Amino acid sequence: MTDANTYTVSDRFEDRGDIARIRFTPKSGSKLPPFTAGAHIDIYLPDVDMWRQYSLCSDPAETGFYEIGVLKDPNSRGGSTAVHRLAVEGAEFKLDGPRNHFPLDETAARTVLLGGGIGVTPMIAMAKRLHALGKDFTLHYCTRSDAVTAFKDALDSSEFADKVVYHFDDQDADQRLDLARDLPAPASDTHLYVCGPQGFMDWVISTAESDGHARANVHREYFSADVDLSGDSFEVECAESGITVTIGPKDTIAKALAKEGIKIEVKCEEGVCGTCITDVLSGEIDHRDQFLTEEEREDGDQLCACCSRGKGKLVLDI
């Protein structure tokens, strides 16, 4: 590991709901690269040979450390349990980033943040930024119960505590998130941000869009996704090398090309981080990711090689 991207775990707090809040500082003592609200970092986990993405929940004005919140999820592919096991104070990690695919529109007149479970993490950085800017905003934070609501003590003692509304599944119906009541009226300068489990996101996004919120004003960040790799076989030709491979059902472009010695960098392998974006010269793409926007999909000139498929034959610019 080079010192430039090596970070040390400087603090760790066990919060409610099996969530560890972990702070990283640069090992070299160099300046922390700045970030904007909504950004994430990539963390390499050598034990399981995985890169995992975690949204930053620290204040974008913070210059000493990055903070993330990690839910220990035994049903995940092993990333979160590895972080919980390995990220003890003093441990060193290779980090990449920060990068921001979920930027905050700081010009909005009204902003509504909707976080489901651990999906609240980027919303916390956004709330801090919006408060610093003196903006009109509300943070709706949905969890199963008060007892598993990480960050609650910090939010309750923050200067914007009056802007945080909790919704607990185990409480009365009128206390739970009610989109008919809690979403603002659509307006060109009103922006919504949503992050959480897929079902929560699908519900919020489809309701907001059917209520008349412009798609471009409903910002979303998927932290994991169920990837559907099913479908017919198709061919991929690599224009530079001239190699052509057949991608079978359940296989991926990235894995099939790796066997031929053509490496496409992958990180999340779930179509959410954008690391594996590859240019497409021709062919019909069957997008399976959550990363590209509708407009980018319509352009038809790039795909996520970790999960997306093709119909017939695709020619890639690699």
Contact 275, 305 (CB under 8 A): no
> Contacts with ligand FES: how many residues (CB under 6 A)?
14
Length of the chain in residues, anyone? 318
Q: How far is the CB of 264 from ligand FES (least distance, A)?
A: 9
Q: How far is the CB of 201 from ligand FES (least distance, A)?
A: 16
Q: How far is the CB of 306 from ligand FES (least distance, A)?
A: 3
∠ CA 167-220-311, rounded to 5°: 135
Q: Restricting to residues 292-311, which ones interact with ligand FES according to CB under 6 A?
A: 304, 306
Q: How far is the CB of 270 from ligand FES (least distance, A)?
A: 6
Contact 50, 79 (CB under 8 A): yes
The residue within the footprint of ligand FES, chosen from 35, 66, 234, 291 (CB under 6 A), is 291
Binding mask 213-252 for ligand FES (x = CB under 6 A): ----------------------------------------
Asked if 272 touches ligand FES (CB under 6 A), the answer is yes
Measured from the CB atom, is 143 or 275 closer to ligand FES? 275
Cα separation values, 62 from 27, 31, 34, 91, Å: 17, 11, 8, 21
The residue within the footprint of ligand FES, chosen from 9, 247, 268, 316 (CB under 6 A), is 268
Distance between CA atoms of residues 80 and 164, nearest Å: 27
Distance between CA atoms of residues 48 and 196, nearest Å: 24
Q: Which two tokens stand for residue 193?
A: 């941000």
E strand segments, 117-221: 136-143, 164-168, 190-195, 218-221
The residue within the footprint of ligand FES, chosen from 267, 287, 288, 309 (CB under 6 A), is 267
Measured from the CB atom, is 70 or 268 closer to ligand FES? 268
Q: How far is the CB of 304 from ligand FES (least distance, A)?
A: 4
Cα separation values, 184 from 158, 180, 210, Å: 23, 9, 13
**DSSP per-residue codes, 63-104:** -S-EEEEEE--TTSSSHHHHHHHH--TT-EEEEEEEE-SS--
Measured from the CB atom, is 64 or 103 closer to ligand FES? 103
Asked if 269 touches ligand FES (CB under 6 A), the answer is yes
The residues binding ligand FES (CB under 6 A) are 266-269, 271-276, 289, 291, 304, 306
